[in-house]
Amino acid sequence: MALRVLAAMSGGVDSAVAAARIAEAGHEVTGVHLALSANPQSYRTGARGCCTIEDSRDARRAADVIGIPFYIWDMAERFHRDVVEDFVSEYAAGRTPNPCLRCNEKIKFEAVLDRALALGFDAVATGHHARLVDGVLHRSPDEGKDQSYVLGVLTREQLSHAIFPLGDSTKAEVRAEAARRGLTVADKPDSHDICFIADGDTRGFLADRLGSAEGPIVDESGQVVGTHEGAYGFTVGQRKGLRIDRPAPDGRPRYVLSIEPVTNTVTVGPRSSLEVTSITAVRPVWNGPLEAPREPLACTVQLRAHGEVYGCRAQVSGDGSEVRIVLDAPATGVAAGQAAVLYLGDAVIGSATIASAA
């Protein structure tokens, strides 16, 4: 049965090939590019982001080649509120957000999907590298490009209206197909940076919005070893840019262990002190083949985009509002605010937001 499909087209090669595949499969496809900034010149250019004027032109050219209608939807206000302001407030609270994950959750699969369904579309297609098997999210076969982690926050209802046409393809195969189809984005570089930070200076971006607030950098004993101009400029596991006045007694590097926004204190210490085996995560979403595990469930967990995967046991609290994750081996650099995405094999079970680790 032919579906009415809205193809989200970022201006990159993945979304272009995804739209082409859906159209070729006989579905009624409309392309849409999301304008995420009221001032696109302030966002990344040179194919480094996904929401510049250059990207919108690339998306339109791809739609013309495919032969589908194309529109631009203004999502700037919603993006600023749900992604940019969230990014700033999370850092101010001492947490480390993932803006790409938040964009998927709040923009592409909430705002856009809601509008698409209201307009009579059956589904939204994107160029994410992930698979849907009987409604369950799975990893891509291209391990280096797998994006199931940043989609792990989606609900079952949202996934039921999602299509990921690139699910079984590697990035190399997608680029080769784009070239065969005559899509000019075939060799366009991937985006890697936060699109709304034009110069890539996250600390400077936050300082412009949160101001300067000098505070102490202390070691695990509480001894002051340096100062900073804002605790928001750090993340757990960070090693570079600490500006510590005195070296560690053993001469080894020191890392950020914790960030306390109330006292504006950053604590540093050896890498060994970063190791954690227990994680508490909140706001769980169970979108896989299982319900929330009331007993410890042996599975795996990924704690960062493209991060290492750890064996673990996961169990929800009595009221279901928290997930306790006990790792089989210690992890380092586990930051509050990041997502913990749980897997059974290649299948996503669910996700939750890291609140604390020990």
Which residues are known to be catalytic? 103, 195
At residue 66's C-alpha, the angle toward residues 60 and 68, to 5°, is 70
Q: How many CA atoms lie within 13 A of 210 on its CB side?
A: 26
Whether the Cβ atoms of residue 11 and residue 33 lie closer than 8 Å to each other: yes
- Amino acid making up residue 338: Q
Does 8 belong to an annotated binding site? yes
Does 226 belong to an annotated binding site? no
- Pair of tokens at residue 252: 């080894």
Whether the Cβ atoms of residue 27 and residue 142 lie closer than 8 Å to each other: no
Nearest Cα to 277, choosing from 328, 315, 324?
328
Whether the Cβ atoms of residue 19 and residue 62 lie closer than 8 Å to each other: yes
Does 350 belong to an annotated binding site? no
Q: Of how many residues is the chain composed?
A: 358
User: What is the Cα–Cα distance from 197 to 16, expressed in whole angstroms?
Assistant: 25
- Pair of tokens at residue 55: 């990207």
At residue 315's C-alpha, the angle toward residues 349 and 158, to 5°, is 30
Does 34 belong to an annotated binding site? yes
User: What is the Cα–Cα distance from 5 to 15, expressed in whole angstroms?
Assistant: 13
Whether the Cβ atoms of residue 268 and residue 313 lie closer than 8 Å to each other: no
Does 13 belong to an annotated binding site? yes
> Which segments of 186-269 does DSSP mark as H helices, in order?
202-210
- Pair of tokens at residue 93: 């609270």
Taking the chain, what is the end-to-end CA distance rounded to the nearest angstrom? 51
Does 201 belong to an annotated binding site? no
Does 14 belong to an annotated binding site? yes
Does 15 belong to an annotated binding site? yes
Does 334 belong to an annotated binding site? no
Does 127 belong to an annotated binding site? yes
Whether the Cβ atoms of residue 227 and residue 242 lie closer than 8 Å to each other: no
Whether the Cβ atoms of residue 174 and residue 14 lie closer than 8 Å to each other: yes
User: What is the Cα–Cα distance from 301 to 324, expressed in whole angstroms?
Assistant: 12
Sheet containing 70-74, strands listed edge to edge, beginning at the edge strand earlier in sequence:
70-74, 28-35, 4-8, 123-125, 162-163
Residues of each annotated binding site? 8-15, 34, 127
Residues of each annotated binding site for ATP? 8-15, 34, 127
